[in-house]
Amino acid sequence: MLLSLLCLSLAASPILGPWPSAFPAKALCSNCGLCKSSVGVSSVADACAFLGDGMSRLEKLEPAVHGRGREYEQGDLAEAHFGVHESIKLAAGVGIEGAQWTGVATGVALELLESGAVDAAVVASSSGEAFGGPEPLLCRSGEEILRGRRVKPSLCPSLAVLDEVAADPAITRLLFTGVGCAVQALRAMNGGDPEKALGLEKGGLLVLGTHCVDNSPSPEAARRFVASIPGVGEERAADVTAYEFMADFRVHARVKVEGGGEETVKQAYMTLPPSVGIPSIAPSCFSCFDYTNGLADLVVGYMGAPFEGGKDEMQRAPLMVTVRNERGRGMLDAAVRGGKVRILQEGGRGGAALPSSGSRAAITMKTVAADSMVKSLLDPGFVAGDRGAPAWLGNILAAIIARGLPKGLEFARFSIDYHYLRNRLYVEKEMRGRTGGGERHVPEFAKAIMHRYEEDMAGLRGRGVG
């Protein structure tokens, strides 16, 4: 009896040891923060996105969260790709200075807090240095919400603040903003009843998600990556305020310039040294099948929005907003009524009315086969080169490839397909020794998406994976 009480009290102690070795998911831990809170750590076995059923747990939770599960079949994979939803729209933030894009997510969070719809909001803040460690922040003022502006390109323990939430009786309605793996763990904790564990009222948890893919394991890894971008280098790495992989096959980095302001450095993907690619991505993110954040009420991202090129795309481009349920609709409506977000285009179910052109059919498998991680899985002797293509050549290649890339929502489908295929090969290898192996971890909707590539994937596996 004494022993079991001791075990219980140990189970409820937050994990303070070194990351990731002290954490239950070990190398695959995404540092979501659940294990860093007393209120969350006891749920880890049934809530962690990288243990047991792993990512496939998310589709089992969808009916409880959204009122129904994903509806899809071959030929109509809209919800397989984008998750349960009422509609997909294009939107822009209004009057939000200093965001990475136009500030839609910041605008929604600001409105909900300032209008009193929630008592507090959890955002990923920054420690202040360039790419400074993202830090979860429990915000009670608009000023604090603004500290969450801009994408932080490395893992953030967002759920580590859950003890603060649970300890404050004044918080009965909470907005949580975060990436898919953290949202999964939050929704699954306490047997699927996080509101009770956190002392929130019924229906008092609102979740604003972002699209997320290929996050860096640490701020240092992100910094090493930006330092490898030609035109940025070691000397300007600390001045980079944001970067993204864009649909023109180039990485765009916003860099501070002397005298104030910023400029955008754009370099073709192939100018980056292949050797920085793999260490720049966390093992959790090579094991992720929740690009579109399936358990959030409302999701903001850029991958399916039209990309027109030109100057400062990040600050002008529309954002893709997925409304999953009634709560998400209410959150977006509030931000529009409050003048912080503007709807640019209604897309309907599957974003059917939004811009979408080209075909991902041919380019997807080519991208998978050319990927450094895939090559290293196929060939254990593969060594990624430490020099990228010269800028002139990279620019020519990027221009040619970009012309053949799909656009708009079809680009989003291409990006999802490519990442899931790559990640499937990764988990087949890395989860081989587990009960159920990688198969158990991969959600059915992801398998439905990958069905069309089975023959090509068998060809790749025949070259050495598995």
Which residues of this protein are in contact with ligand SF4, per CB under 6 A? Answer: 23-25, 29-35, 44, 48, 50, 155, 179-181, 185, 212-213, 215, 282, 284-285, 288, 290
Q: Considering the complex, state which of residue 84 and residue 335 has its C-beta at the smaller distance from ligand SF4.
A: 84
**Pairing between β-strand 174-178 and β-strand 120-126 as defined by DSSP bridges:** parallel
Q: Considering the complex, state which of residue 177 and residue 215 has its C-beta at the smaller distance from ligand SF4.
A: 215
Q: Considering the complex, state which of residue 101 and residue 119 has its C-beta at the smaller distance from ligand SF4.
A: 101
Query: Which residue shows structure tokens 């998406």?
Result: 449
399 close to 405: Cβ distance less than 8 angstroms: no
CB of 361 to ligand SF4, least distance (A): 25
For 251, phi and psi rounded to 5 degrees? -90, 135
Q: Considering the complex, state which of residue 151 and residue 251 has its C-beta at the smaller distance from ligand SF4.
A: 151
Query: Which residue shows structure tokens 């439905």?
Result: 448
145 close to 113: Cβ distance less than 8 angstroms: yes
CA distances to 193, 225, 293 from 36, in Å: 19, 28, 22
Q: Considering the complex, state which of residue 61 and residue 288 has its C-beta at the smaller distance from ligand SF4.
A: 288
Helix (H, G, I), strand (E, B) or coil at 391: helix
Q: Could you tell me which residues come within 8 angstroms of residue 18 by beta carbon, excluding any fewer than 6 positions away?
A: none
CB of 180 to ligand SF4, least distance (A): 4
- Alpha helices in 261-408, H assignment, sequence order: 274-277, 313-316, 326-337, 361-370, 372-378, 391-404
CB of 55 to ligand SF4, least distance (A): 8
CB of 167 to ligand SF4, least distance (A): 20
One-letter amino acid for residue 173 of the chain: R
CB of 292 to ligand SF4, least distance (A): 10
Q: Considering the complex, state which of residue 32 and residue 90 has its C-beta at the smaller distance from ligand SF4.
A: 32
CB of 390 to ligand SF4, least distance (A): 31
Q: Considering the complex, state which of residue 109 and residue 159 has its C-beta at the smaller distance from ligand SF4.
A: 159
Q: Could you tell me which residues come within 8 angstroms of residue 65 by beta carbon, excluding any fewer than 6 positions away?
A: 187, 295, 325
CB of 315 to ligand SF4, least distance (A): 23
Burial class (CB in 10 A: 0-12, 13-18, 19+), 77: buried
